[in-house]
């Protein structure tokens, strides 16, 4: 019997399969087992909440469980180190926040911030609200700055460590005023002392502050969003209030070890971006006092070193000591 070539369609399929690169083939099959999602902070915070939302969605759409593992310690450094040193195969993910780019300014780290991670997708950010209490009867940022100029170092800005300390130091730098920045063990007691009249002002995280702003116990002067939030439509943005260049949103992203195959990173990004950009998730983020802000791996490669340089400068200007974790 004479040899006959197989039909063209069959030859095309076979050729395509043979041409598929190992990385692409691996991405097509990924995941073939459960994926670990490390949250470098304690349960209950925004990192944990968004990490669990992303993990639940990925588990439902990708055929295997994405299991959240909280590993708190040293401003997220311990958990982040586990992600950075995991095999670069996409089976260990981490929920990374803005603290990742601040930590190099004050800690000696076990990894290189600029090269340790491959960012799968930035998901979103929570914003800060500049607020005052009854101890400081000002009604605008202009009035606040005028008061601070009259009394350099007298206005007490209550804050907590980590991200909030950096955000407060940046506010001092951008406004070119001197405040008495007092560190508390947590953001909640720092905010409550403004409400009770023990301190003058606070850069509040949006979620816990909103009920007090709506009740009038706190007076909001500016919000750290690109445009006014529908939850607090009467409060201007920092830009509208005349505070130019104040960008201190606490962002949240999914990352994995550097060297993870790009097709796997792209596959994860597509799933996360599609879900977070959905109307349902947009509304959930608004209700949480956060905004959706999707960024790709390539975009994050540019953002990370720029953020590290920015916060290193802020820490130096504020005289923050560098210490080993």
Q: What is the mean pLDDT of residues 289-302?
A: 94
Residues 6+ apart with CB under 8 A from 308: 101, 104, 105, 113, 114
How many Å apart are CA 38 and CA 51, to the nearest integer? Answer: 8
pLDDT of residue 12: 46
More reliable by pLDDT, 211 or 53: 53
> Is the confidence at residue 265, as pLDDT, over 70?
yes
Flag whether pLDDT at 70 surpasses 50: yes
The whole-number average pLDDT for the span 119-133 is 94
Q: Are 168 and 131 in contact (CB under 8 A)?
A: no
Per-residue pLDDT tens digits for 89-118: 999 999 999 999 999 999 999 999 999 999
Q: What is the pLDDT of residue 16?
A: 47
Phi, psi dihedrals of residue 137, rounded to the nearest 5°: -80, 50
For the cut 60, the answer to whether the pLDDT of residue 9 exceeds it is no
- At 324 the pLDDT is 64
The reported pLDDT for the residue numbered 4 is 56
Would the pLDDT of 323 be above 80?
no
Q: What was the pLDDT predicted at 225?
A: 86
Name the DSSP class of 237.
B
Q: What is the pLDDT of residue 10?
A: 46
pTM of the model: 0.84
Confidence of residue 44 (pLDDT cuts 50, 70, 90): confident
The pLDDT value given to residue 266: 97
Q: What is the pLDDT, as a whole number, of residue 162?
A: 85
Torsion sign, CA atoms 17, 23, 27, 31: positive
Arithmetic mean of pLDDT, 257-285: 96
Predicted pLDDT at 206: 79
Share of the chain above pLDDT 70, in %: 91
Q: Do residues 201 and 155 make contact, with C-beta atoms less than 8 angstroms apart?
A: yes
pLDDT above 60 (res 61): yes
Please give the pLDDT value at position 187: 84
Closest residue by Cα to residue 290 from 109, 52, 123:
123
Q: How confident is the model at residue 176 (pLDDT cuts 50, 70, 90)?
A: very high
pLDDT beyond 60 at 235: yes
Q: Give residue 208's pLDDT.
A: 80
* Residue 151 pLDDT: 95
Gap between the terminal Cα atoms of the chain: 77
Q: How far apart are CA 197 and CA 3, in angstroms?
A: 92
> pLDDT-derived band of residue 292, with 50, 70 and 90 as boundaries?
very high
Burial grade of 41 (CB within 10 A; 0-12, 13-18, 19 or more): buried
Whether the pLDDT of residue 196 is over 50: the answer is: yes
118 neighbors 260 (Cβ within 8 angstroms): yes
* Average predicted confidence (pLDDT) for the chain: 90
* Confidence band for 24, pLDDT divided at 50, 70 and 90: low
- Domains recognised in the chain with CATH numbers: 21-125+249-318 (3.40.190.150), 128-223 (3.40.190.10)
Residue linked to tokens 């702003």: 213
- Closest by CA to 126, choosing from 254, 275, 252, is 252
pLDDT, position 85: 98
């Amino acid at each position: 019997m004479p040899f006959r070539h197989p039909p063209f369609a069959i030859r095309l399929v076979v050729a395509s399969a043979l041409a598929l690169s190992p990385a692409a083939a691996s991405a097509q099959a990924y995941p073939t087992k459960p994926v670990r999602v490390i949250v470098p902070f304690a349960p209950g915070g925004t990192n944990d909440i968004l990490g669990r939302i992303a993990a639940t969605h990925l588990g439902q759409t990708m055929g295997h469980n994405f299991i959240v593992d909280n590993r708190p310690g040293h401003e997220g450094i311990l958990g982040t180190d586990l992600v950075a040193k995991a095999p670069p195969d996409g089976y260990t993910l981490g929920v990374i926040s803005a603290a990742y780019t601040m930590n190099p300014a004050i800690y000696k780290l076990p990894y290189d911030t600029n090269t340790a991670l491959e960012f799968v997708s930035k998901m979103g950010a929570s914003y800060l609200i500049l607020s005052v209490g009854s101890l400081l009867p000002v009604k605008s940022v202009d009035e606040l700055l005028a008061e601070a100029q009259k009394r350099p170092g007298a206005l007490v800005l209550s804050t907590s460590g980590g991200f909030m300390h950096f955000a407060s130091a940046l506010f001092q730098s951008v406004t070119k005023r001197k405040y008495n920045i007092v560190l508390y063990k947590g953001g909640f007691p720092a905010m409550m002392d403004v409400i009770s009249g023990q301190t003058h002002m606070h850069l509040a995280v949006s979620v816990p502050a909103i009920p007090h702003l709506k009740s009038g116990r706190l007076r909001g002067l500016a919000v750290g969003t690109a445009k006014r939030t529908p939850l607090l439509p009467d409060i201007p943005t920092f830009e509208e209030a005349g505070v130019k260049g104040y960008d201190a949103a606490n962002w949240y992203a999914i990352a994995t070890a550097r060297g993870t195959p790009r097709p796997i990173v792209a596959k994860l990004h597509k799933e996360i971006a599609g879900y977070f950009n959905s109307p349902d998730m947009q509304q959930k983020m608004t209700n949480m006092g956060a905004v959706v802000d999707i960024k790709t791996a390539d975009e994050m490669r540019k953002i990370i070193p720029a953020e590290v340089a920015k916060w290193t400068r802020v820490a130096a200007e504020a005289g923050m000591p560098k210490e080993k974790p």
